[in-house]
């Protein structure tokens, strides 16, 4: 029988900060979203103080009881690198590993010799010893069950970080007592609609007629129902699926009111998006640009718009930036205080595969982009960029509590000294 596992890093971003600053052990730690806006990761000490997921930072920071909380701006280069390290350790403990998100990985645990609980516990210990990241593991006959097992392992201290749901009787006991909203794929809306028809527990969901579930939650609901019954519908895939789109969007540190500032910002997003494209050896054939004012301050005047264009497939920064500028001109309106903008690239395909006879990139273009990426890799992001990307960046997002990029930038590496 197939056994799926799910390993999840506890309070991942906070744990990454702790890995490099041992003084944070047992202190409440909170990591903030981009622009230092909302709390997006909290240690259990911070959760105990009542700090909620997604809570706006400026609303909670004044409270006196929170004076001991350690706040951090998010440091994605650090977290991405730590995630890669966790993955590397797992490869030594499971025959197949599928990264699901930055802090979660599905595992194939089928047919491993010995006691599975012991093996999973050893795996956690190895991850923690090598990366300093604490984890929880859940497992069962399907991915949805493994995900639920992981939730239980994390939620209930008495489980000590492990939960085995391979046994049907054990599963049914939990199903009777857990709300359906804890199922992976059942969000707020679906849970509310299920509730309207009297379905509140997972047991009620699993035992409802599939036709009824189909009416409320369509094919996704029916599939989840089968998965929770132990019939596997979702397979493990080790090769990451070809992505369909790629975006670079940001909220600004202060509102943008002029077209020239917005052009700088949007150029910057187009530059960054093109870099990501080339790093993954992809071309894009569809470009969108959007701009919007602060949705929390509609009384100041609300405006949001987007424009998009289909183009010859490319990853050329200059070509994509020019298109983004054209699109921006079609939606720009004076007189608003813009809070956010972004560039999105779609219709992605492996570089060079979808060219027609007329849009083959010249050797010079390819060489120029290669040089630009090499220079920026060596001297830092943005060292070489289109002039229109500007130099001021007065709108750049706040990041006032940023830790060093301990593992990915040689200038920010940790120093040891002896006296």
Partner DNA sequence: TCTGGGGTCCTAGGACCC
H runs (alpha helix) in 164-243? 168-177, 188-196, 202-207, 210-229
Q: Please identify, using beta-carbon distances, which residue of 92 and 300 lies nearer to DNA.
A: 300
Residue nearer to DNA on the CB measure, 102 or 368 = 102
Q: Which residues pair with 338 in a beta bridge?
A: 256, 293
β-strands 282-293, 304-314 pairing: antiparallel
Asked if 162 contacts 117 with a C-beta cutoff of 8 angstroms, the reply is: yes
Q: Report, in Å, the least distance between residue 133 CB and DNA.
A: 13
Q: Residue 268 in 3-state DSSP? A: helix
Please report the beta strands in 315-382, taking only residues with DSSP state E, as ranges in sequence order: 338-350
Binding footprint of DNA on the chain (CB under 7 A)? 33-35, 37-38, 40, 54, 56-58, 100-104, 147, 183-191, 218-220, 241, 243-251, 255, 276, 294, 296-297, 308, 310, 339-340, 342, 397
Least distance between DNA and beta carbon 106 (Å): 11
Cα of 227 vs its chain's centroid, Å? 24
At closest approach, how far in Å is the CB of 243 from DNA? 4
Half-sphere exposure of 344 (CA within 13 A, CB side): 14
CA pair distance 88, 125, nearest whole angstrom: 14
Residue nearer to DNA on the CB measure, 33 or 232:
33
Q: What is the DSSP string of 63-101?
A: -GGGTT-EEEE--HHHHHHHHHHHHHHHHTT-SEEEEEE
Question: Whole-angstrom Cα distance, residue 369 to residue 364?
Answer: 9
- Nearer to DNA by Cβ, of 124 and 250: the residue is 250
Across 327-346, b (16+ Cβ under 10 Å) vs e yields bbeeebeeebebbbbbbbbe
Query: Can you state the percent helix, strand and coil of the chain, rounding each to 5?
Result: 45, 20, 35
* Closest distance to DNA from the beta carbon of 414 (Å): 26
Nearest residue (CB) to DNA, 38 versus 319 = 38
**Farthest-apart Cα atoms in the chain, separation:** 73
**CB-nearer residue toward DNA: 119 or 293:** 293
Joined tokens for residue 187: 């969000």
Residue 59 or 414 having the CB closest to DNA = 59
Judged by beta carbon, residue 83 or residue 314, the one nearer DNA is 83
Closest separation between CB of residue 371 and DNA, Å?
24
Closest to DNA by CB, 94 vs 265, is 265
The nearest distance, CB 343 to DNA, in angstroms, is 9
- Which is nearer to DNA, 101 or 167 (by Cβ)? 101
Whole-angstrom distance between the N-terminal and C-terminal Cα of the chain?
Answer: 58
Question: What's the closest the beta carbon of residue 60 comes to DNA, in angstroms?
Answer: 11
From the CB of 367, what's the least distance to DNA, in Å? Answer: 26
Q: What are the backbone angles phi and psi of residue 62, rounded to the nearest 5°?
A: -75, -20
Question: Measured from the CB of residue 4, what is the shortest distance to DNA in angstroms?
Answer: 15
HSE-CB at 50 with a 13 A cutoff on CA atoms is 7
Query: Would you state the structure tokens that stand for residue 406, as one six-digit string?
Result: 């301990």
Least CB distance from residue 8 to DNA, whole Å?
8
């Amino acid at each position: 029988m197939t056994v799926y596992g799910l390993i999840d890093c506890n309070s991942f971003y906070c744990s990454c900060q702790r890995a490099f600053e041992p003084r944070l052990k047992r202190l409440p730690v909170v990591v903030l979203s981009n622009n230092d806006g909302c709390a997006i990761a909290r240690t259990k000490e911070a959760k105990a103080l009542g700090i909620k997921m997604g809570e706006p930072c400026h609303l909670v920071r004044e409270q006196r009881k929170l004076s001991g909380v350690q706040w951090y701006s998010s440091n994605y280069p650090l977290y991405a690198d730590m995630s890669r390290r966790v993955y590397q350790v797992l490869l030594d403990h499971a025959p197949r590993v599928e990264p699901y998100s930055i802090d979660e990985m599905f595992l194939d645990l089928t047919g491993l010799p010995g006691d599975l609980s012991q093996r999973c516990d050893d795996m956690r210990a190895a991850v923690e010893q090598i990366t300093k990241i604490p984890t929880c593991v859940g497992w069962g006959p399907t991915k949805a069950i493994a995900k639920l097992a992981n939730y239980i392992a994390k939620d209930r201290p008495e489980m000590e970080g492990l939960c085995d749901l391979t046994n049907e009787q054990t599963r049914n006991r939990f199903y009777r007592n857990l709300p359906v909203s804890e199922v992976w794929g059942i969000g707020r809306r679906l849970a509310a609609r299920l509730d309207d028809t009297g379905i509140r527990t997972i047991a009620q969901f699993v035992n409802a007629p599939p036709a009824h579930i189909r009416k409320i939650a369509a094919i996704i609901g029916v599939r989840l129902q089968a998965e929770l019954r132990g019939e596997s519908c979702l397979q493990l895939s080790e090769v990451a699926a070809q992505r369909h789109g790629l975006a670079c969007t940001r909220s600004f540190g202060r509102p943008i009111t002029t077209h020239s500032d917005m052009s700088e910002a949007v150029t910057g997003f187009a530059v960054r998006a093109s870099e990501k494209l080339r790093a993954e050896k992809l071309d894009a054939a569809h470009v969108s640009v959007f701009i919007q004012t602060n949705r929390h301050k509609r009384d100041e005047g609300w405006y949001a718009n987007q424009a998009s264009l289909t183009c010859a497939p490319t990853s050329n920064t200059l070509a994509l930036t020019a298109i983004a500028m054209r699109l921006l001109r079609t939606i720009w309106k004076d007189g608003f205080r813009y809070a956010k903008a972004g560039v999105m690239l779609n219709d992605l395909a492996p570089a060079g595969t979808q060219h027609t006879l007329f849009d083959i990139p010249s050797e010079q273009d390819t060489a120029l982009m290669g040089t630009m990426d090499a220079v920026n890799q060596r001297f830092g992001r943005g060292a070489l960029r289109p002039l229109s990307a500007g130099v001021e960046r007065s709108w750049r997002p706040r990041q006032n509590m940023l830790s060093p990029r301990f593992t990915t930038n040689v200038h920010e590496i940790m120093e040891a000294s002896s006296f």
